[in-house]
Structure formats: structure tokens, C-alpha cells
Structure 1
Amino acid sequence: MAPNPGSSSKPPMFVSQKSSAAPASVDMEQVELRDMIAAGPPPELALKDDIMKLAMHGDEFGLRALLDSGVSADFRDADGITPLHWAAINNRYAAVRLLLDEGADPNAHGGDSDATAAMWAAQRGHHYIVHLLLSRGADTSMVDDSGYNLLHLATFDGNVLLLVLLLHQGIPVDSLDPQGHTSLMWAAYKGYPACVDMFLRWGADIRAVDEQGFTALHWALVRGNYTCIEKLLEYGVDRFAPNNEGKTPSVVAGELKTEKAWWDALEECGFDRNGHPLHKPNTLFGIHVQDREAALKRFFFLWPFLQVFLFVQCCVCFEWFIAVPSAIVVAGGMHWVATRALQWAPPGQKAIHRTPYLAGIFTGTAFWIGIRWMWAILPNTFWSAPFSNLFFFIFFGGCLYFHAICMAYDPGFVAKPSGLNEQKQVIEELLGLWKYDDQNFCVQCMLRMPLRSKHCKRCNRCVAKHDHHCPWVFNCIGIANHRQFFLYIFSLEIGIFFLVRLVLLHAQLLPPPDTPPICALLSEVFCAPLWQDPFTFYISIWGSLQATWVTMLLCVQLIQIAKAQTTYESMTSSKHHGHHHHGSRDKITTALATAITTGSTSTSGAALDPSARGPDPAASISSRMDEGWWRKTKQLLGVDVFWRTAGGGQQTHSEKNPFSAGIVRNCKDFWGGAAPAWRPPLEGGLSAEGELAGRRINYANIYEAPRLRGGRWVGEGEV
């Protein structure tokens, strides 16, 4: 509904604290934006004769009839409000366009706030209406009677897409209202972290102060929004800046009872509760380093090498009743040290799954298995099983090779626009296509999102045909490295099989011990090899245990390849369309599925959350709830992940995957690409190339669903 023209619809000014009263004494209702009164023009005329009502309801035919009868499109009531105002604030695009075509003034001021139609639309976040008015001559430099421009008014609503549109129209990001507030201050106060992040990336002045001496940080502390505070600290806001009354952010947080958010944000950014750095610059564990972030990555990758070695050594050196608890203590203690190292990690990266830690565990395990194979297993079993050793060497080497490829190379990043003009062209194109929304436009990368793409928060890039972010390779899996990822887990699976065979043969070929082993729990058949070569057997047992998740992941990947689905599409096919299921059973399923694939127990931790996701033409408009005893049985047996994947995730029977060309053709498409599967993927624009129904396409440039029938492309002239 629209505001009453006779009432005040403008946002209030921030409360000025000229007295010595503490911020805690401020009435929060006074600082809040006033709600618009849901009312329309007074019912003086019948609808067919009232141009204001017709504009408010978007009755294009009625408007045209009135305009043809001689009523002016620039008609104004006693408050100066025009039909354009009512059509704009109610998001009546066709009515706005008709009125503009008939000569309505886009810069007409009206209402108690003396605002333009574009300002009314901006307060409601109607970015298509604002764009239309701007294209027809609306002046971006105008302000209402409170001194707010379009950028300020759009910030009140928190519509990031509209803010991006306005900033690309040349509105200064640091434009001030009469009290000296910038849009960054308003976003921080209102608690819009996405807007705060966007303003900061655009270059907003983080040290700007208003008439009271408040910075954006002071205003973020009024509401105590942790994410806004953390983002401002990350960009280097002054933590000790006093306002005009000499109150620092810490004092303001204490008086407004928002210390918890303030302290948590300080800790996340590496400061103590007083705002002082917890660690000296360029240090890690007190040791000076040239590049802390690079040193952290090396630490998290190499630390598990020692962790795995000491874990196995505890099992080797002690009796079982001492070895088990000591191994657990050592592994847990070293893991605790790794978590303490997160103190030095950048803000937003203080989580184990956001480091190369899991990749280091895999590589460390593979390293020690390779050492023992080379120095113990190979010499003892070569003449008895030469082909098994040869196959193990091939698959073990292939596993390490493809693991390195997946870690080091481009997964298929979508190229970002090179400058503001190119970004503006992308925005204009999407507006013209009516696709300027969060599924088609990535605010972080400022680009049009292709089909099946997704913005990865870990990599901070959009990835073409995004499958998932894998912490085991510390990289995204996309169109350019998906084949290498599959070969990595396939080689790992076969390598484990040959490892088990060789270890069993190694146990049989070992000479009998000089003295009988002391066996407490195991029989002598199993105890003797552990007594003679314990490190080899313990590290092999640890490595063989990885076959559990590898087998499940391999099965899931095989099913998804056959169905031409990605992990994201299989697991969250309808979540990004609003069909979220918050029951405990869905949480269990999601945790198991994401843990198998990504090493994290949540879709958010696995970077599979539905935010910043490209359009999915196969997305469902309804979801099927698989209730009853059968679902409980699947969860109890641990096979619900496989059943869900085989059944197409959350899709209904009526849905059709437009990228599926049949099982055989899907498998052929998966192995087709711009480079051989064994070679590192091509970089640049070719890194996103793949095949679909036998045709070479670039997944970084595909925006419309393919037309396939019977596994073949449908020609333009075919029905």
C-alpha cells in the first residue's frame, strides 16, 4: 500500500545527543524509521474517474482512457503528489511507463517529504521502477525535504541490488544527509551486513564522522549487529575514535548493552576486548613471518604430517591399553594446537574447514604410506606380487597427481567485468531482460551468473557448473576440475584396494619373530605382524579406513554423473526456491550428505548454501516430503544419502533436468572437455568449456536452458 500524502513519510533524523545523556538512554523508537501509513487517496471520485487511484492500482487501460479524455499525466493534488508517485511506490511498471510516455515529470516533488517518484520507489526497493525513472530523466542529485537522496532512501530498505544500480549511476557513495550521515552509517545502524560489505568494497570512507562525531562503527554498535561490526573492523575502522562527547566505541557498546557482539567481533578480527591486537604484526606463534596468511596455509597443510606420524608412533611404542588413550591425547592435543592457530587467521576464516588442514591430513597419510610401501612393503612383496605393486604405484601416483591438480588449478572461475562501464552494461542488460535479481546477478563479483554457477564464499569467486567446495583439496570443484576430482577419488579407491592386498601379503611373508610376541587381545596370526612391523600396519589401517567415505563419495559421484547433476543440484535443488525443511530428520540427512562430500556437516560450512546461486531451470516449485517408516529406516541404516542422490535430490517426478541427455550421453559429456582429463585444465576463458549432448559449450557463458530432445539438440526450426 502507499503512504498518505498528507502524512509524513520521510525517515526521521538520527537523534542528536547534544546533552551528556548516554546513548543507552536514547529511545530506540526515535532512532527507527517511521512506517509509512498504509492508506490511499481519499475516496472522493469513482475509480474510473480518479487518476490517482488508477495509478495506485496500475490500471493501464483506465489511465489511458482518462489521459485520452484530456486529464494531464502531470496532474498534481494539493500536496503536489502526482499519479507517477502512486504508480512508482506501488511498483506499477506499466502505469509508470505510460505516464512517462504521456509527459509526466519524473522530477516532480510532492508529499509531506517533498520527494520525487523515484525517491518513493527507492524507499520500497523497486529497482525496476527506479531504473525506468532514471532512464527517463530522473535527477539523481535531488534530495527530499530531509536532505536524503536516492542512495540514502534505498539504504533504508536494504536492497543491495538497488544500491548497486544507483552507485553505477554515479551517485557518490559518501554523500551526506543534513546531519552528516553517510549511507554506510545508515546501513551499519540498520543492521544490513550485505549493504555494509558492498559500500566498503565500493570504497566508502570508513573514517567519516557525522555531526555527533559518530562513525559507522558507533552506529553499528547501537543495534549490536555482529556481522556489521566485524566487517567494519576487517576494513580497518578506528576502534578508538571518540564522538563529540569523548565516547569511544567500547564505551558506547557498554552503555547500549551490546558488548557481547563488540567483543566477539574484536576477537574474530584479532583484538582483545580493549581493542588492542592480540598478536604482533606478521607473527605466527610469536615467530616473525613475511606473509602471515601464506605461513598459515603452509602450517595447516604440513602440521598433519607430524600429527599422523606421532599418532601412529603412540600405537607403535606402547601396549594397547596405553597406546589407545595416548594416541587420542596426542592427536587431540595437536588438533587443539591447530585450532589455536586460527587466532592468527583473517576474519571470516577462523574455521578448520576453511584451511588446508583436511587436505594436509590426506596428504600426510599418503606420504607416510608411500614411505612405508617404498621401504618395507615393496622389497618384501615385489617378487611375489609384481603386478600388484605396479598397479599400486600407478594408482597411488595418479591419486597424488590428481589431488595436486585439483588443489592448484582454476576450477572454472567466471570472468569478472573489467571495469565500471562493463559492470553497468551487465546491469542494464539484466534489467532489460527482467532478470536483475540475486539468481542472475552476483553482487560480490558484479557479473551475470550463468546457469549452474554459484558464488563460492571460500574462493570469493563465481564458479561455472559449481559442484561443491571440497576441503580435502582446498579448492572448489567446478567444470574445469570435476573430471580430475573424480579421477582423484577413483584412484584413491583402487589404490586402497591394492594397499590392503599388499599389506596382507607383506604380513604373510614376514619371517617369524625371534621371540614369541605378547598378544593380549589379538591371536598370534594377527599379532605377529604388528609386533614385527607395527608402523607399516598401523598407518595402513588408518589409510584403509578412508575407504569408507571414499566409497560413498565415489558412488554419489557416479550417480550424479549419470544423471547430469552436480552435488549442489542433487542436495539443494529446491532449497533456493524457498522450500526449506527445518525438521531434525532433514538436518540429519543434510549433515551426512555434506560430510561425505565436503568434510563439513552443514550446507553452509560446505559452501552449498543457496545464497549467490545462479538460475536453475530445473528447480522445483514444490517439494516432496518423504515421510513415514521408510524414511526413518533409510536414516537408521545410513543409506538415505544414496537414496536421495539416486532419486534426484529434492526434485519431484514432474521435473525434468534440461541438462540430461540420457545416461550414456551424460557420461560421454562428462569426459569431454577442452583438455584431456589427465592434463591440467586450461586457464582463462577455455577453463569453463565442456560438452552437452555432444556439443562444445562454455558454462561461463550459458544463460538459457538448452533445448534437448532424446539426447540431442533441438534445432531452431524444429517443433
Structure 2
Amino acid sequence: MDWSEGETVLGDTRDGCHHAHAHAHVHAHGTNLSQQPKKRPLMDDSSSWDIVKASQFGVLERCKELVEAGYDVTQPDKENVTLLHWAAINNRLELVQYYVSKGAVVDQLGGDLSSTPLHWAIRQGHLPMVIHLTRYGADPSVADGEGYRALHLAILFQHLAIAAYLMAKGQEVDGPDSNGQTPLMLAAQKIIGPEPTNFLIKNDASVSAVDKVNRNTPLHCAVLAGNVDAAHILLEAGASVDAENVNGHTPIDLAHQVHSPLLVHMLTHIRQERIQTGSRCLRTVSRYKVFLQFLLCTATFGSAGAILDMDSESWLLKGSLLCCLMGVVNLISRRFGTSAFRSLLPASTLMASVFWMLVTWCVWFLPDGPSTTLQALFALTATGLLYYYLRTCRTDPGVVRATEEEKKKVGKNVLVLAEAGCLDPRIFCTSCMSKKPMRSSHCFCCDACVARQDHHSIWTNCCIGARNHRYFVLFLFFLMLTGAWMFYGCVTCERLHLFRVCDGGVV
């Protein structure tokens, strides 16, 4: 059954929460308390409907008529679902208010998952309904049949605005569910993607908490699930790679058990990096990482070119030398490379390529005597390439900055913002816990919201947004022109070489 936004739920939905739990074809419905879902056109006279169907479609007058005629609002239907459940799952605010006034039990369990109306509203992402039910006394700490409490469900279905609201109402970020798992453990184990894990860590979720049964930390949970994104975020937050669970297994041991070479490499490297953090050599590498990365890439490309340009006719020798070169580079990267050092690799590779293009033009192509006009055009192209590359890297892409006081103020006023309809993900970032302008997006690489973000470029190691987009486009244009000039230079140089050979020259 597809529960699309604003659509009334009909038919047999006893296990509708199972459908939502499995794949969550669910979207936040909108955060304006006065906003109601659009009703389907009435296919027949609602005066003949039973109260369940009237509750699903939100026909208040028909519901009032049946209740006044003696229908008990606390009575569950044949599917063990109350009227309050049907009103909550369809975001019928007026019906909820009416049923509560007639004695409906706000926290009554129903359905196959023994869920409360609050649980149903959270699974569907109806923040207005969640606010409405909590006003009438709904208890977020009540667990459903699977052991999940309200905050756990909000995280599980990635409704972070609801999660922020529940925490503002007093729900502990590390509160365990009936199975002893914290929301961070659920996010690490069941959600592929960085946002929920990042959101919880920014709200001071503990990375060292353990569950009651297996004594697993959130990092253990991420490794067992093969969740690389969550593991990466947890490691950046300081999660221990040496913590042992009840069986004495560390996250690295579990990575071997689930046969994940990527996680094994990541965890092992982080352990070695943390051991070597205090070394003077690594501190030097960290301080001059940009220059050293550029120097390494430049030396690698130069060495590879020199090997391929050798006079020797033996390709076996050249191949052996190239393998030795790659082995040395790999050894240097493993010995001295940190995560910050490796993140600069694409940008350093690009700049090293540009450097050798300029050297090739000046050393090999220029002596062949291109006209002054061609030399001037190439000089202008190279200058434009370097200029716009630097402008792209050094220009603020449009980062939306908020002071610590503003963040604290927003954090304290989440309740007010939620009730005013301002926790809409389009205008409120749950990662930065601040308002953001329209058409801005949160970049997890930069850990900031960027106005009119286009993408995060690994070649410039920065975001491309409102303020540097034009510089980036011009950089790409001049890069294309430089490549065209290099192609022209190669063709011209080869033609001159062939002409000399045909004219009896020495190769």
C-alpha cells in the first residue's frame, strides 16, 4: 500500500506500519498546523459511511453524527485500531480534537504492532499531528510492539524535524528503547546515509553508549550492518575502535566477520593514525599537507613521464620501473597519509597535471617556434585557468553562517518554531540547527549549509554555490581551452618530428 503525501489511508491497514517500517514510502506532510491534507472527491454520499471510513476521509460532521448516536470512541474496530489511530495516520487534526473531547484514550495501543496514535503519526511524518497529540497528553516514552519509542521511530524513518521537536520536549537523545538500543545505534544499524547519524552526534548523542544485550557500541552496530557512512561519521566523532562487546569483539573483529575489506581498512587505518597522532612527522605533514600533496603528485607524474620517455626499447623494464614508482607512492601515502591529507588528492592531482602541461608547452612546444600570437593566446589561457581556479577555491561559495548564540537560541526555541511551522526541512536545517535561505542545501563535506549549492567539487576541495559558481564555470572553460592548446601542441610537434624524419633528419 502506498501512503503518499496527503492521501487518505483506506482498506486493511492493520500492518500499515509494517509497510512504513520496511521502506517508508512516506514524506513529511507539511508543518503548518492549519494545513490539512486534501480530501479525495467523495465518490458517494458520506451520510451512508461507517465511522471508520468517515474518520479516514476526515468527514467531521458524519463522525459527530455517529458519536452522538452512541458510538463509543474508545472502541477498537475489528482490526484492533481505534478511531484516534485513523485520524492520526491521516493527519485529521479536527477529528483528533473532537475524539479526545469525547473521551478517546490518547495512548491506546492498537494494530498489529501495538502502536499508539502518536507512533502512527510519527511513522507518517505528520509533525502537526505529533504536536497536536502531545498537547493532549500523548506520552513519547511509550514503546510499541517492536520496542520502539517515539524518538527512535522519528530517527528510524528519518523525520528529523519530529526528532528535534521530541528532544525539545524532553526526550533524551541517548534514551534506550525496550531492547536497550539508543537512537544512534538504530541510525548506525538501519539507515544508509549520513544525515540521521550526523544529526544525533550534533545533538550530543554518546558514541560510547552500549546496548543491554550484546554491549555493542554504535560503531559495532554500524560495522555489523556494513554502514560505511555511519562508521565514518562515528570515527570522526571519536568512537573507539578498541571497545569490546560482551563477546570480546572489537569493531575491527566484526568487520572481519562480515567480510568487509573497506571497513577493515578504514578501522585499521584510524587505529594506526590515532597511535601516531603525536609524532612530529605527522604534525609536519598536517601543517604543510597542501604543499606536500602537490609535491608528491608532481613528482609522481614527472617520474612516470620520464620512465615512459626512456630511450630503452624494453617495455618490461619500463613496466617494472612504473610498478616500483607506484609502490613507493603507495608506501608514502600509507605511512604519512591522514584522512585530511587524502582528501586533497584529487585537487592536487589536477594542479600537478596543469603544472606539467605548462612545463611541456614551455620546454617542448615553445622552442619549435609558434607564432607570437599563439604564444600570447596560450599565455592568456593559462593565466585565466590559474586565476579562476584560485578564485573558485578562495571565494566563499555562500556558506550560511550562524553564531553560537543564534544556534543556542534556535535550539531553545525548537518548540516555538515547530508550532509556527518553521521546522520545514526547506527552511530549517536539522544538521546546523538554524534557518536557511530557500534553495540552499547542507553539504556534509563542508558541514555547512550553502546558498544555491550546485555540488561539492573534489577537484577544488570546496563547494560550488551562489558566490563562486561563475568562477567555477570560467575555470572549466579555460581548462578546456588549455587542453585544446595541448592537443594542438602535440599535433604540431608530431608533424614537425615526422617532417624532419622524412627530410633525412635525425630522430
* Fold in common (TM above 0.5): yes
2: CA distance, partners of 1:182 / 1:70: 46
Aligned-pair CA distance for 1:132: 3.8
Aligned to 1:109: 107
CA contact (8 A) 2:252 2:264 kept: no
Measured against aligned partners, the alpha-carbon deviations of 1:313-353 in whole angstroms (never above 9, x if no partner) come to 3355425x35x776666566545655566656566x89788
1: CA distance, partners of 2:326 / 2:415: 46
Tell me the SS of whatever aligns to 1:110: coil
Q: 1:2 to 1:297 in 2, by over 3 A?
A: farther
Aligned to 1:465: 452
Query: 1:290 aligned to 253, 261, 283, which one?
Result: 283
- Unmatched runs of 5 consecutive residues or more in structure 1: 12-32, 36-45, 511-518, 532-719
2: CA distance, partners of 1:333 / 1:188: 40
Tell me the SS of whatever aligns to 2:283: coil
Aligned to 2:243: 241
Query: 1:299 aligned to 277, 288, 292, which one?
Result: 292
2: CA distance, partners of 1:428 / 1:326: 72
Query: 1:401 aligned to 373, 387, 411, which one?
Result: 387
- Unmatched runs of 5 consecutive residues or more in structure 2: 1-8, 24-45
1:308 aligns with 2:301: yes
Aligned-pair CA distance for 1:306: 1.4
CA contact (8 A) 2:168 2:414 kept: no
Query: 1:359 aligned to 350, 355, 360, which one?
Result: 350
2: CA distance, partners of 1:527 / 1:408: 52
TM-score, normalised by the number of residues in structure 1: 0.52
CA contact (8 A) 2:293 2:344 kept: no
Tell me the SS of whatever aligns to 1:289: helix
Q: Which amino acid aligns with 2:294?
A: F
2: CA distance, partners of 1:246 / 1:493: 57
Aligned to 1:547: none
1: CA distance, partners of 2:481 / 2:221: 58
1:277 aligns with 2:284: no
Aligned to 1:419: 407
Q: 1:114 to 1:504 in 2, by over 3 A?
A: closer
Aligned to 1:40: none
1:260 aligns with 2:253: no
1:143 aligns with 2:136: no
Aligned to 2:464: 477
2: CA distance, partners of 1:185 / 1:432: 31
Q: 1:528 to 1:355 in 2, by over 3 A?
A: farther
CA contact (8 A) 1:122 1:130 kept: yes
Q: 1:421 to 1:56 in 2, by over 3 A?
A: farther
CA contact (8 A) 1:123 1:154 kept: yes
CA contact (8 A) 2:384 2:478 kept: yes
Q: Which amino acid aligns with 2:97?
A: L
Q: 1:47 to 1:110 in 2, by over 3 A?
A: farther
Q: 1:259 to 1:279 in 2, by over 3 A?
A: same
Tell me the SS of whatever aligns to 2:259: helix
Aligned-pair CA distance for 1:428: 7.1
Tell me the SS of whatever aligns to 2:463: strand
2: CA distance, partners of 1:237 / 1:434: 33
**Counterpart mapping for 1:577-588 below 5 A:** none
1:436 aligns with 2:451: no
2: CA distance, partners of 1:410 / 1:258: 45
Aligned-pair CA distance for 1:184: 1.9
Aligned-pair CA distance for 1:173: 0.4
CA contact (8 A) 1:354 1:458 kept: no
CA contact (8 A) 1:469 1:477 kept: yes
Measured against aligned partners, the alpha-carbon deviations of 1:86-135 in whole angstroms (never above 9, x if no partner) come to 311x2x22x2334326754797221268865323322454444224434x
**Counterpart mapping for 1:60-71 below 5 A:** 60-66=60-66, 69=68
2: CA distance, partners of 1:224 / 1:501: 49
Aligned to 2:35: none
CA contact (8 A) 2:60 2:94 kept: no
Q: 1:330 to 1:449 in 2, by over 3 A?
A: farther
Aligned to 1:206: 207
Q: Which amino acid aligns with 2:307?
A: C
CA contact (8 A) 1:115 1:145 kept: yes
Identity among equivalent pairs (%)? 22
Measured against aligned partners, the alpha-carbon deviations of 1:267-301 in whole angstroms (never above 9, x if no partner) come to 113449xxx53774238xx9712165555544332
Aligned-pair CA distance for 1:219: 4.0
Aligned-pair CA distance for 1:151: 0.8
Tell me the SS of whatever aligns to 1:463: strand
Aligned to 1:513: none
Per chain length, whose mean CA-contact separation is higher, i.e. which structure has more relative contact order (CA < 8 Å, sep 6+)? 2
Aligned-pair CA distance for 1:419: 0.6
2: CA distance, partners of 1:145 / 1:477: 44
Q: 1:481 to 1:392 in 2, by over 3 A?
A: same
Q: 1:316 to 1:415 in 2, by over 3 A?
A: same
CA contact (8 A) 2:106 2:136 kept: no
CA contact (8 A) 1:174 1:205 kept: yes
Aligned-pair CA distance for 1:172: 1.8
CA contact (8 A) 2:52 2:86 kept: yes
CA contact (8 A) 1:185 1:219 kept: yes
RMSD, matched Cα: 5.1
Q: Which amino acid aligns with 2:295?
A: L
Instruction: Report the number of matched residues.
Output: 464
TM-score, normalised by the number of residues in structure 2: 0.70
Aligned to 1:372: 363
Aligned to 1:647: none
Q: Which amino acid aligns with 2:352?
A: I
CA contact (8 A) 2:437 2:451 kept: yes
Aligned to 1:97: 94
Whose helix fraction is larger, Structure 1's or Structure 2's?
A: 2
2: CA distance, partners of 1:64 / 1:168: 35
Aligned to 1:130: 130
Q: 1:209 to 1:477 in 2, by over 3 A?
A: closer
CA contact (8 A) 1:463 1:478 kept: yes
2: CA distance, partners of 1:131 / 1:505: 72
Q: 1:50 to 1:481 in 2, by over 3 A?
A: same
Tell me the SS of whatever aligns to 2:238: coil
Measured against aligned partners, the alpha-carbon deviations of 1:656-684 in whole angstroms (never above 9, x if no partner) come to xxxxxxxxxxxxxxxxxxxxxxxxxxxxx
Q: 1:350 to 1:524 in 2, by over 3 A?
A: same
CA contact (8 A) 2:87 2:95 kept: no
2: CA distance, partners of 1:103 / 1:171: 24
1:392 aligns with 2:378: yes
Tell me the SS of whatever aligns to 2:471: helix
Tell me the SS of whatever aligns to 2:97: helix
Q: Which amino acid aligns with 1:396?
A: A
Q: Which amino acid aligns with 1:358?
A: T
Tell me the SS of whatever aligns to 1:269: helix
CA contact (8 A) 2:378 2:482 kept: yes
Tell me the SS of whatever aligns to 1:209: coil
Q: Which amino acid aligns with 1:210?
A: D
CA contact (8 A) 2:106 2:137 kept: no
Could you tell which deviates more after superposition, 159-168 or 324-333? 324-333
2: CA distance, partners of 1:52 / 1:186: 34
